[in-house]
Structure 1
Amino acid sequence: MLSFRSPIPHREPTAATTREPEPTRQLRVHVSEKWRNFVVANWHLGFTAFGGPPVHFQIFHTKFVDKLKWIDEQMYQELFALCQGLPGPASTKMLFCINSIHGGFLSGFLAFCIWCLPGAVGMYTLSLGVSKIGETMPSPVYALLSGLNAATVGIIALAAVQLSEKAITDQMSRILVFLGGAVGMLYSALWFFPVLMFAGGVGTVVWDYRWLHNFIKKFKKQRVENQESQEVITSPPPIPDDTPSITSSSTTRQRRQNTDHPILPVSTSPEPPTTPPSFTPENQLLTWRTGLFVIAAFFTTFVTVMVLRGTLKTPPLPYSVFANLYLAGTIIFGGGPVVIPLLRDYIVGEGWVSSRDFLLGLAIIQAFPGPNFNIAVYLGALAVRNGNGSMPKEVGAMIGFFGMFTPGIVLAAGVMGLWSTIRKRRWTVSFLRGVNALATGLVYTAVYRLFQTAVLDEEYSGGRELGIDPFWVAVTATSFVGGRWFGMPPFLAILIGGALGVAWWGAVKA
């Protein structure tokens, strides 16, 4: 007989059978937690980070090193030197690198967008109204801008002091910080800043490996031996029976040789800094091969853009604006304070933007959060609109944004791909220590330059020094003291400076 098995009864899936595997659930929770932490850490920076790159660096240190501990102090100092040594917006590259190391390339790119867009939108909005105002502005507006600039000077000065406290680790770094600030105020050619930082890096390598120490020690030792030989020749012959005196003389000579130059180390072998902790592959932005490819591709595009810029007889205005800003973003070292005079030559000098509009944007960008390179959005919108009335300002704003920010971010991404390899070299740590010290000294240069042009009024729309009136110096001191000893955040100091400027106008001018 044939027997038939009863069919397997159909069972509805239960919660136990549909539950996702534990590793998958843990991975999903980990990814969700990572992005939540990313948003919480970055969303507000583009709205609250006032004061320019020096203050931004201090804000990043407090948040990502002290509080969140995404990177350690040594990694922060290395990134600081690396971002100062590469062209482009220094603080923007710093935020990009920190987020890329912590969460990958996508995290770095999104942090860059969150960081830049609030200020960029604000500068674009400013460009919409600037072309509609007259040649002069109301007197209270000048007082407001002067108060904002005066408070910014105090904030940057405080940031310079705080950065110096971390950059100075020995006598050599102290000398380099001083030289960076002093020499940067005396000479400001574009080629000078990268050469100066490179020289500082070489100086610390020579110092840490004690090459000059050993040379000086050998030179001094040879001179002492020559002097002793001369003394032996000119001295009378020793008495044969006086053996103790000869022994005493030999002992004295040996003691002199052993105690000569006690500051220098006895060992002649180099003692460079210890190798930094490993840079794990999962935190690496790109591989070293990809990093080399990115750097080579950037320089290929840069050469192409510059060749077309020089060979086209009548290039379209949007392309000319893009090429000038692309060139500025590539050759700028030192961040926002250095880019201002260059943009004046490349934009105002071409006749695309008036000097009045440029100075107005310069005053406003000091009071805006985010990177100072956002002024390129303002200048690009005005340049394209003034030169070609049929073209919308949005196109000029985008041209300015991508022209200024692309070089620095692309180069930072490429170099970070090489970083896991080159940072293991002991000389790299020494070199970046010198670059870090020189870059910190240049922050004092930014304080000096803004101090010279911070006060605006109807008669001197180009700006005058804060010392023209003791009141503005007092505003600067207020922001410095408030941040140094009372924990006043930078954005609050900026607002108080603007309010004090308006109060000064009501008490003095009105």
Structure 2
Amino acid sequence: MTQQKQNTSFKSLLEILLVSTRLGLTSFGGPIAHLGYFHEEYIRRRKWMDEKSYADLVALAQFLPGPASSQVGIGIGTMRAGVLGGIVSFIGFTLPSVIALILFALLLENFDVGDAGWIRGLKIVAVAVVAHAIMGMAKNLAPDLNRKAITLLALVGTLYWQSTFTQVGVILVAAGIGYLLYRNSAETTEGRLLFPVTKRFAGICLALFFGLLFLLPFLREATGSYWVAMFDSFYRAGSLVFGGGHVVLPLLEQEFVPTGWLTEEAFLAGYGATQAVPGPLFTFAAYLGAVMNGWQGGLFATFAIFLPAFLLILGALPFWDSLRTNQKIKGAVMGVNAAVLGILISAFYTPIWTSSIQAPMDFALAAILFSMLVYWKLPPWVIVITGAVGGSLLTLL
């Protein structure tokens, strides 16, 4: 009986690995598109979950900081085959883009990225992609005047005081404002999500999440270790990002470019390349880690930035039923999401716009790429290739 159970468990894990890897190789288009792929594959075709449970899981992933699509994938894998199933699901969905971006980073070591025309084009791709993200997020995250005001305050604050502590402070202040403004108006949700993780295990995950978040900066100062500092930077970025992978850009830029760990050109080139690969945008960390410390650094950075997503989704799911009906908590999150939009607009101006749009023809190429992405609905990899070719042509003019 035990042997049969082990065989069944192995088959489930293998099935999860194969399906999630196929999704990791083919899921272009960002987190919203990923959720569509997941729904088609996991819910409609394989019926691993019912529609209501999937909707509940997506709602929780949107509620928590971190990469929403990755957290949904982890949750589906965990429901299918326990915590090990969640790990396998994550590996399958994430590893293809991690490998691609590490290889890209290693190839860049042989080139002068500052002068390459295709790098110029990838930087302009980042302008089009982030502008599109801002448009989409603005409709959902700041639909009323109060949240537009929070967005504006976050934008002004992060542009005037440019530091990681400013971003954290803005998010905390926005949470307080959202709590005051929306504590009695947030909508409640009915329903129940069953999850095979005990509340004790979930509590350990949440304690570890907050413990690392607050302890790592002190360890960084006390030890002076390069690897501890690197882990702290990526872990903190993964812990504080509400709104999807695009928002991780300003947090990572503030951590690594001013400190001289990598150049702004290399940073934005990797961000452009990340748009060309399938899978989660958080794998941008694999590229950054590989630029700084080879393939070992790429894997280390990937682990550090995704660890908060694991701890939060495993820690929050057993408590989701009470969290999702708490109007005060939902009001605070509404304020945080509006501030995230302001942080993203701030990052759009600097470093993306200020370092990418240097001439009228740069703006013309950005307008073409934006139109291809928004109006013609072309896939991101087409935008990336067009941008790289366009940037090379601009250097010849």
Amino acid of the residue matched to residue 463 of structure 1? S
Distance 1:304 1:466, change over 3 A: same
Say how many residue pairs are matched: 387
State the alpha-carbon separation in 2 of the partners of residues 398 and 204 from structure 1.
41
Q: Which residue of 2 aligns with 1:435?
A: 333
State the alpha-carbon separation in 2 of the partners of residues 136 and 66 from structure 1.
46
State the alpha-carbon separation in 1 of the partners of residues 17 and 196 from structure 2.
19
State the alpha-carbon separation in 1 of the partners of residues 210 and 340 from structure 2.
27
Deviation string, structure 1 residues 203-258 (Cα, Å, up to 9, x no partner):
444025xxxxxxxxxxxxxxxxxxxxxxxxxxxxxxxxxxxxxxxxxxxxxxxxxx
Q: Which piece of structure 1 moves more, 354-363 or 52-61?
A: 52-61
Amino acid of the residue matched to residue 398 of structure 1? L
Q: Which residue of 1 aligns with 2:382?
A: 495
- 8 A Cα contact 1:79 1:94, kept in partner: yes
- 8 A Cα contact 1:151 1:494, kept in partner: no
Deviation string, structure 1 residues 2-46 (Cα, Å, up to 9, x no partner):
xxxxxxxxxxxxxxxxxxx9xx99x89987986686456522332
State the alpha-carbon separation in 1 of the partners of residues 346 and 12 from structure 2.
41
Deviation string, structure 1 residues 459-482 (Cα, Å, up to 9, x no partner):
x7x222898533422321222123
TM-score, normalised relative to structure 2: 0.76
- 8 A Cα contact 2:126 2:271, kept in partner: no
Indicate the RMSD between aligned Cα atoms, in angstroms: 4.3
Matched, 1:156 2:117: no
- 8 A Cα contact 2:25 2:96, kept in partner: yes
- 8 A Cα contact 1:85 1:197, kept in partner: no
Please report how far the alpha carbon of residue 182 of structure 1 lies from its aligned counterpart in structure 2 after TM superposition: 4.8
Q: Which residue of 1 aligns with 2:27?
A: 49
Distance 1:319 1:39, change over 3 A: closer
Distance 1:45 1:151, change over 3 A: farther
Distance 1:507 1:405, change over 3 A: closer
Matched, 1:417 2:311: no
State the alpha-carbon separation in 2 of the partners of residues 192 and 350 from structure 1.
22
Secondary structure at the aligned position of 1:277 is classed as: coil
- 8 A Cα contact 2:71 2:313, kept in partner: yes
Deviation string, structure 1 residues 40-68 (Cα, Å, up to 9, x no partner):
65223323333444554555566656776
Please report how far the alpha carbon of residue 441 of structure 1 lies from its aligned counterpart in structure 2 after TM superposition: 8.4
Distance 1:507 1:296, change over 3 A: closer
Distance 1:286 1:29, change over 3 A: closer
Amino acid of the residue matched to residue 259 of structure 2? E
Q: Which residue of 2 aligns with 1:477?
A: 371
Equivalent residues in 2 for 1:137-156 (5 A)? 137-143=115-121, 145-146=122-123, 148-149=125-126, 152-153=129-130, 156=133
State the alpha-carbon separation in 2 of the partners of residues 299 and 441 from structure 1.
21
Secondary structure at the aligned position of 2:218 is classed as: helix
- 8 A Cα contact 1:193 1:333, kept in partner: no
Please report how far the alpha carbon of residue 406 of structure 1 lies from its aligned counterpart in structure 2 after TM superposition: 1.4
Equivalent residues in 2 for 1:322-361 (5 A)? 322-361=231-270
Secondary structure at the aligned position of 2:366 is classed as: helix
Amino acid of the residue matched to residue 289 of structure 1? R
More helix by share: 2
- 8 A Cα contact 2:275 2:380, kept in partner: no
Please report how far the alpha carbon of residue 397 of structure 1 lies from its aligned counterpart in structure 2 after TM superposition: 2.2
Matched, 1:279 2:193: yes
Matched, 1:122 2:100: yes
Secondary structure at the aligned position of 1:469 is classed as: helix
Deviation string, structure 1 residues 145-196 (Cα, Å, up to 9, x no partner):
15643553476367548x84xx89xxxx755765565555444423323543
Amino acid of the residue matched to residue 439 of structure 1? N
State the alpha-carbon separation in 2 of the partners of residues 362 and 454 from structure 1.
10
Q: Which residue of 2 aligns with 1:463?
A: 356
State the alpha-carbon separation in 2 of the partners of residues 504 and 349 from structure 1.
26
Distance 1:293 1:135, change over 3 A: closer
Q: Which piece of structure 1 moves more, 129-138 or 463-472?
A: 463-472
Deviation string, structure 1 residues 338-378 (Cα, Å, up to 9, x no partner):
32232233223333323332232233223333223223223
- 8 A Cα contact 1:285 1:413, kept in partner: no
Deviation string, structure 1 residues 369-389 (Cα, Å, up to 9, x no partner):
3223223223323334xxxxx
- 8 A Cα contact 1:152 1:494, kept in partner: no
- 8 A Cα contact 2:25 2:278, kept in partner: yes
Q: Which among 69, 73, 79 is matched to residue 95 of structure 1?
A: 73
Deviation string, structure 1 residues 378-433 (Cα, Å, up to 9, x no partner):
3323334xxxxxxxx2332232122222123112211223335x25x7436x8548
From the CA coordinates, give the structure whose radius of gyration is larger.
Answer: 1
Secondary structure at the aligned position of 1:91 is classed as: helix
Deviation string, structure 1 residues 315-360 (Cα, Å, up to 9, x no partner):
3433332233333333444443332232233223333323332232
Q: Where do 4+ consecutive residues of structure 1 move more than 6 Å?
A: 27-33, 65-69
Unaligned runs of at least 5 residues, structure 1:
1-20, 209-271, 385-392
Distance 1:426 1:407, change over 3 A: closer
State the alpha-carbon separation in 1 of the partners of residues 68 and 266 from structure 2.
25
Q: Which among 256, 281, 285 is matched to residue 372 of structure 1?
A: 281
Unaligned runs of at least 5 residues, structure 2:
159-166
Please report how far the alpha carbon of residue 137 of structure 1 lies from its aligned counterpart in structure 2 after TM superposition: 3.1
- 8 A Cα contact 1:182 1:445, kept in partner: no
- 8 A Cα contact 2:199 2:319, kept in partner: yes
State the alpha-carbon separation in 2 of the partners of residues 353 and 180 from structure 1.
32
Matched, 1:83 2:69: no
Secondary structure at the aligned position of 2:279 is classed as: coil
TM-score, normalised relative to structure 1: 0.61
State the alpha-carbon separation in 1 of the partners of residues 179 and 336 from structure 2.
8
State the alpha-carbon separation in 2 of the partners of residues 201 and 70 from structure 1.
36
Matched, 1:401 2:299: no
